[in-house]
Amino acid sequence: MAVVDNHIADKNDEVPSFSDPEDFEDTFDEEELLGEHLAKKPDINEYEACCIIVFGIPIVGEDRFVKLKNVLGKLFAATCPKDYRDEYPFDDDGKTKGFCFLFVSDRDAAENAQAILDGHVLDKKHIFKAHLISDLLHMKKPADKFEPPAKRSLVDVGDLWGWLQNEKCHDQFAMQHLSPGQGANPTVSISWYMHGQEPQLCLDRQQWTDTVFKWSPHGTYLATIHVAKGVAIWGGEQFTRIMRFEHEGVQYLDFSPNEKFLITHAPSNHRGLSHDPSSLRIFDVNTGEMVKGFSLHTLVGSNRLNAWPFFKWSHDEQYFACIKPGGNGICVYDSDTFTLNNKKSITLEGITEFQWSPTRNQIGYYCAERVEQNTPSEIGVMDFPSREKLRSHRLFSVQSAELYWQKCGDHLAAHTERYTKRTVQKDNTVKFSGISSHLEVFECKGKQISVQSMPLTEPFISFAWDPNADKFCVLIGNDNKATPQVYRLDPSKHIPQLVSKLDAGVKLNHISFAPVGGWLVVASMDSSSGSVLFIDTNKPEPARTNCAEHAGFNRGYWDPTGRYYVTCTVVTGRASMDCGYRLYTFQGRELLRKNVDRLTQLRWRPRPPVKLSDAKVKEIKKNMKTTSQKFEEEDKRERGKASKEVIEKRRKIMDEFNGVREANQAQYESEKDERIKLRGGFDCDAPILEHELVDEKITVPLSTEQIKIEEDSQETLE
């Protein structure tokens, strides 16, 4: 045994070397050798995402801490996994600091607990604010020279809705034009329109805007753009400036549906930046504070703005959304936190267009087909925030599609262009042939959404819904012959039913229903004919009431009440000769015609929506005859008052003229002898006597010649 031990000891005297030779090259990396172990390596970001900080807990001493922890423990146990841990920091006096930390096992559980605890009301004095540590670490640090905003004095602009209290319910419109000698600085004027009278100027201002103006959706504010400074909003009886929103180089502006937020955009290159982190800005209208800034480059992958408005808002302003970069989904943001809803976007592969419902939190969307993957196009309606697809309609061989929501939100229409053959050219461009137009109509009233499909007999031109009825108008044809067709939806039928096929017109390209529905305008904009067809769709069979002409007009707008329709010729990129506007009744009778030099904008002032109960609507319809007679009598009095005012004005002008004439008559008489002397004794003021008149006859010789015309015989003609 001793011999063996000695033999082993002799061998252990030489320590083996496990080092690689000097010329050895290692071709393996740690990830390949230790991949499974490295995957389990702790990551600080993982712990940050699993840690929640809760603000707003009561501040108590050590004597009450145990009770506080028991109360909060019951709440945390109901919202967090069983293995959660909570930590409470204390100050030097032994009191809690008003916040605590929660540690959970995974990120999903942390996000769920944070969403539940954020905004939780413990009692009247304590409302929780919960945040993930990872979110707090990504917050921007305040500027080194940050100063609290200075207090602003209240600007009393009067009643912002005073214009709605007009006794005669007159409407206002704003107009922008360039006056001669004014250069590039436009004049913006606001006028009242009274039926049968000339527009009454309310006010006008030069250099009110650098580019354009915009009414807010309910007409409360008028917004103007000032490129060097930003955007300003005006309101009240005298349109006093209410708020200014700073955004250097701003070119675009928009409002949220209920006027709570203002959105602006300034190109990055205009500010000398290649990547502006806040080229898109959202402001609070009431405070003027920028609540969120977005980088257009981050959202779309470039600084190019393809369409405006960029963000699309839900009807209640609770959400706003844009298409995800890459076209594979929709990014929906909460307007309370201005963060991505549920921390993730909606995945919709191939999406090219989406629209919010005007009355519900539903999204209509269109996803283009992906031929390489043999995936059809998809048109559907999605509920939000549940993200449930209420109806999905898949179609093959679709080239493009357009979405049209009805104003009341009951229906969604999709116009699709389908093809029979798809060919890839040598330059990789795609050519489609055998194009045909179709309509897909989704009924969104109930829980189950039905779809009606209808092919169109001719190429599609335009489409419009009646705002409040189950009917629509589609314009089909071409420039030489365009036909308006009115359809009605019948739940018992599988396709929309044709109600009327109206007379075809030339170059018709625009359809617009009145805001209250019933009356329809079909027009040919940007054409030499300038036809405007007024159609009554209230009858069982729609009929044309009038056809007006306004050659070359390129804009057309209904007033918010649906009583008037205005056509405008405004300055565009090409030269425009006769700028101006014409005003019509809803039946097509022309009321006013005005030429305005270099007109660039004309827009009616919107009105806020008025929601009447069914009983009130029924009462109004029942008393329509009595009410209409009352209004007709008031109109007669107004016309008589207007005529009286005109007569008095003319009489006043005549009296002023007679006063000037009498004042100069004496001087004229005193200079009579001098005038006669200068004219060689001729008195031009003396009356002409009858014997001084001379009769003069002028004879003009005429010659006539008769020529007999003989009819050629049938043989000669042959």
What is the DSSP secondary-structure string of 637-657? HHHHHHHHHHHHHHHHHHHHH
Strands 312-313 and 319-323, sheet pairing:
antiparallel
User: Can you read off the two tokens belonging to residue 147?
Assistant: 């100063």
Residue 714, pLDDT above cutoff 50: no
pTM over 0.85: no
pLDDT of residue 181: 58
- Dihedral in degrees, nearest 10, Cα atoms 78, 81, 85, 87: -40
Residue 718, pLDDT above cutoff 50: no
Kindly write down the DSSP assignment for every residue of 502-565, as one continuous string: PPPBSS--EEEE-TTSSEEEEE-TTSSS-EEEEEE-SSSS-EEEEEEE-TT--EEEE-TTSSEE
pLDDT of residue 713: 45
Show Cβ contacts of residue 150 under 8 Å, excluding neighbours closer than 6 positions: none
Residue 1, pLDDT above cutoff 70: no
Task: Report how far residue 529's alpha carbon sits from residue 506's, in angstroms, rounded to the nearest whole number.
Answer: 8
User: Can you read off the two tokens belonging to residue 356?
Assistant: 């919010």
Q: What is the pLDDT of residues 452-487, one digit of tens each?
A: 999 999 999 999 999 989 999 999 999 889 999 999
Residue 28 pLDDT class (50, 70, 90 cuts): low
Q: Name which of 415, 391, 420 is nearest 405 in CA terms.
A: 415
Residue 183 pLDDT class (50, 70, 90 cuts): low
The lowest-confidence range among 553-562, 657-666, 695-704 is 695-704
pLDDT of residue 11: 47
pLDDT top residue among 407 and 20: 407
pLDDT, the chain, mean = 86
Instruction: List C-alpha distances in Å: 378 to 343, 369, 373, 389, 393.
Output: 25, 7, 14, 11, 6
Instruction: List C-alpha distances in Å: 650 to 445, 657, 661.
Output: 60, 11, 16
Residue 535 pLDDT class (50, 70, 90 cuts): very high
pLDDT of residue 642: 66
Residue 151 pLDDT class (50, 70, 90 cuts): confident
pLDDT of residue 588: 93
Task: Report how far residue 234's alpha carbon sits from residue 243's, in angstroms, rounded to the nearest whole number.
Answer: 7
Task: Report how far residue 381's alpha carbon sits from residue 365's, in angstroms, rounded to the nearest whole number.
Answer: 6
Length of the chain: 718
Residue 382, pLDDT above cutoff 80: yes
The phi-psi region of residue 577 (left if phi > 0; otherwise alpha if psi is between -120 and 50; otherwise beta) is: alpha
pLDDT of residue 9: 46
Q: What is the pLDDT of residues 285-316, one digit of tens each?
A: 998 999 999 988 888 888 888 889 999 999 99
Q: What is the pLDDT of residues 558-604, one digit of tens each?
A: 999 999 999 999 988 655 568 999 999 999 999 999 999 889 999 99
Residue 8, pLDDT above cutoff 50: no
pLDDT of residue 715: 45
Residue 683, pLDDT above cutoff 50: yes
Q: What is the pLDDT of residues 643-665, one digit of tens each?
A: 777 788 888 899 899 888 888 88
pLDDT of residue 7: 46
